[in-house]
Amino acid sequence: MWGISPCIPRLGTARQGAARVSESSPRGGGGKGRDARAPIFFDTAVDALPAPDWLHAAASELGIEFEDGPDGGDVEKLGKFLALLLRANELLNLTAITEPEAAWRKHVLDSLTLVPLLSELSAGASVADVGSGGGLPGIPLAISLPQLRFTLIEATAKKCRFLEAAAGALGLTNTVVVNGRAEEVGHEKGLRETFDAVCARAVGKLESLIELTVPLVKPGGCVYFIKGARAEEELAGAAGAIEKLHCAHAGTVPTPTGRIVVLEKLRATPGIYPRRSGEPGRKPLK
């Protein structure tokens, strides 16, 4: 259902083409382990993967109009990102989906289902992608929503090197990379409760994921979880985490690729959350 919360606008309201927000070049953030850099280099001289015939129609259903530009249009950049992802996948375990047609649907389109929701944020608003991995959904969103600022949070240093290389190759000045575990990042001054919105995809079950994401968003902000057919089952099992993290279920949005579970943060997160590294996964809140 659309329009039941400030977090969930009505379908078809995506706004495109706003001025790009100037940001520093993609960089690593502070925190434990963030200076560790593996001696690995990524070839960014790749040709964009051709877009499938269905992409524009699928995007139109979401209210998305792709932009063209002298530095490469949105579709070309999305195709280049996929090419970079699949090339780097030869060195890193970034994705099990390597067939181009499937990658466009399960990576790009799945990520873009957040555009109608995030496009309601004001220009310059900040969005965190927790457990970004290969840059999903953060990089496709940064391409499609240049008016927003994206922080890609990833625990694995080698994956962060890829994220930095990809963002640089795509000219994404609205994107920065933070190398750290969500349990630690969620307590860092300058990151905790500073984001206007937080999103996560393919990171874990809601009962654990809520504790890793909610501490980062401002009170009154929203967290968006890209989920599949078992979203409602996961949501039922996350009731304890929702209560303890001071959230409310704002709605579950059906999309062409699955569902988006939306939580609204009602007030500040208790200081004990998130708990120590690994604990949210081992002992989900009940």
Write the pLDDT tens digit of every residue in 165-201: 999 999 999 999 999 999 999 999 999 999 999 999 9
Separation CA 148–CA 126 (nearest Å) = 6
Q: Quote the percentage of the chain above a pLDDT of 70.
A: 85
pLDDT in tens, 138-150: 999 999 999 999 9
pLDDT in tens, 62-118: 999 999 877 779 999 999 999 999 999 998 989 999 999 999 999 999 999 999 999
Report the predicted TM-score, pTM, of the whole model to 2 decimal places.
0.87
Residue 202: per-residue pLDDT: 85
Contact residues for 209 (Cβ-Cβ < 8 A; gap 6+): 130, 200, 203, 225
In this prediction, residues 119-141 reach a mean pLDDT of 98
Quote the pLDDT of residue 34. 39
Q: What is the mean pLDDT of residues 225-248?
A: 97
Contact 137, 118 (CB under 8 A): no
pLDDT of residue 6: 58
Look-up: residue for tokens 């530009």? 69
Q: What is the pLDDT of residue 42?
A: 79
User: Would you say residue 225 has pLDDT above 70?
Assistant: yes
Residue 264 confidence class, pLDDT cut points 50, 70, 90: very high
Cα distances (Å, whole numbers) of residue 96 to 120, 196, 203: 32, 31, 14
Residue 1, pLDDT score: 30
The three-state secondary structure class of 251 is strand
Answer yes or no: is pLDDT of 11 > 60. Answer: no
Fold of 55-282: Rossmann fold (3.40.50)
For the stretch 44-73, what's the b/e string if a residue is b when 16 or more beta carbons lie within 10 angstroms of its beta carbon? bebebbebbeebeebbeebbbebeeeeebe
State the average pLDDT for the chain: 88
Q: What local confidence, expressed as pLDDT, does residue 122 receive?
A: 98
Inter-CA distances, 69 with 72, 81, 118, Å: 5, 16, 22
Q: Is the pLDDT of residue 17 over 70?
A: no
What are the tokens at 12? 């078809």
